[in-house]
Structure 1
Amino acid sequence: MNKNKMIKTTISVVSLITVWGLVSKMGVVSSYILPAPVKVLNTLFKMVQTGEIFEDIHISYIRVLKGFFIATLAAFILAMIRIILPKWNDYYENVLQFLKNVPPLSLISLLILWFGIGETTKIGIIVLTAFFPIYLNTVKGFISCDKKLLEVGEIYGYSKVNSFFKIRLPYAMSDILVGMRIGLGYSWRAIISAEMIAASAGLGHMILFAQQMSRTDKVIVGILVIGVVGYITDRLFAFIIGKVLKGSEKNGWD
């Protein structure tokens, strides 16, 4: 992030906090509904001192990474089959198109019946949420490969498998990474609903428990922490992608 952009971001954040503080101080909104920024900050400091916030972050992070990894692997394999073995695509493409339109939250009850209330169900929600943006972008990258490059591969006698790994995959890398970045963001968005399924730890559980105890300040802390951790993860991913694609600005990763 360049200096000018950082200054503008700082101004917008400070302005938002200032408005929040004024609204709270003037009593426009009840402190029960919207506690003052100072109270939220004090709550955050207490949670940092006790270490409970770090434990929740760690547990949520592991769940997000597991779900994201499974979604990425499944999306890549199915997209690869679609290209290398196109006839197999007929067996699952319509099913995927159907599931794409089904909200993952609507499947929670079914997942609980199938897998109980353990980690499998929680990670399953994250997988279902992250899978489709990764899959659709990966397929787009493979299908949009330059036909002339494929023709060159045919001239050199490449098989479908060789053509896939030596031509299509490098060509589609940008689209694949875009899908992965979107999927990673969706994974963090899904963590709340995933951890509301009888979880005993994690940021989603912390927010749900705080809501049940009428602790709006802890709810806001949980939301802010998820946003910050998700943002940091996204920036790290963008940095890695910028290195892989030889320049973040050129590839739109700023």
Structure 2
Amino acid sequence: MNRSKVIKTTISVVILISIWALVTKMGVVSSYILPSPSKVLNSFFKMLQTGEIFEDIYISYIRVLKGFFIATLVAFLFAMVRIILPRCNDYYESIVQFLKNVPPLSLISLLILWFGIGETTKVGIIVLTAFFPIYLNTVKGFVSCDKKLLEVGEIYGYSEVDSFFKIRLPYAMSDILVGMRIGLGYSWRAIISAEMIAASAGLGHMILFAQQMSRTDKVIVGILVIGVVGYITDRLFALIIDKTLKGSEKNGWD
């Protein structure tokens, strides 16, 4: 991020916080509904001192990474089978397209019945949320491969597997990484619903517990922390992409 963009972003944040502080100071909104920035900041510092916020971040981070990597692996395998063994696609593609339109939150009851209230169900919700953008973008990358390149592969006697790994996969890498980046963002969006299920720690649990205790300030802290941690994760992923794909900023990675 260049200096000009940092300055503009900082100005926007300062303006938003100033409006927030002014609204709470004038009593336009009840402090019970919207606490002042100073109260939220004090709650954040107290949570830093006790160390509870670090534990919640760590636990949520591990759940997000587990769900994200499982979703990436499964999506890649399904997309690969679709290309290498196209006849198998007819057996599962319609089911995938059907499940794409089913909100993962609606499957919580079934997941609890099948897997209980442990980590499997929590990670499963994240997997279901992250899978589809990764799968769809990966398939797009494989299918849109330049036919001339594939014809060159045929001239050299490439099999379907050789053609996949030597031509399609490198060609589709940009789309795969796009899908992974979107899926990673979706994983963070799913963490609250994932941690609604009998969780004893994690950012989602912290927010829900604070809501039950009518601690709006801690709810806002939790939301802001999820946003910041998710943003940092996204920027790290974008940095990896920038190193992998030269000139990636031209494709919206900046």
Regarding TM over 0.5, the answer is yes
Distance 1:15 1:252 in 2: 26
1:71/1:131 contact within 8 Å kept: yes
Q: Which residue matches 1:230?
A: 230
Q: 1:249, CA displacement in angstroms?
A: 1.7
Q: Give the TM-score, by structure 2 length.
A: 0.99
SS in 1 for 2:251: coil
Q: Distance in 2 between matches of 1:236 and 1:49?
A: 27
Contact 1:195 1:204 survives alignment (8 Å): yes
User: Identity rate of aligned residues, in percent?
Assistant: 88
C-alpha distance in 2 between matches for 1:89 and 1:247: 34
The one-letter amino acid paired with 1:165 is F
Would you identify which runs of 4 or more consecutive aligned residues in structure 1 move more than 6 Å? none
CA RMSD of aligned residues (A): 0.5
Residue 3 of structure 1 corresponds to which residue in structure 2? Answer: 3
Structure 2 segments unaligned to the other structure (5+ residues):
none
State how far apart, in whole Å, the 2-side matches of 1:92 and 1:124 are.
Answer: 19
Q: CA–CA distance in 2 between the matches of 1:170 and 1:104?
A: 31
Q: Indicate the residue corresponding to 2:86 in structure 1.
A: 86
Cα shift at 1:248: 3.0
Aligned-pair CA distance for 1:251:
3.2
Deviation, 1:33, is 0.3
Name the counterpart of 1:123.
123
Stretches of structure 1 lacking an aligned partner (at least 5 in a row): none
1:21 and 1:250 map into 2 onto residues whose CA distance is: 38
Could you tell me the TM-score, scaled by structure 1's length?
0.99
Letter in 1 for 2:89: N
Q: Deviations over 1:15-37 (max 9, x none)?
A: 00000000000000000000000
1:66 corresponding residue in structure 2: 66
Q: What is the distance in 2 between the residues matched to 1:229 and 1:85?
A: 39
Instruction: Kindly indicate whether the alpha-carbon contact (under 8 Å) linking 1:40 and 1:221 is maintained by their aligned counterparts in 2.
Output: yes
CA deviations over 1:91-122 (Å, ceiling 9, x no partner): 11011011000000000000000000000000
Aligned residue pairs, count: 254
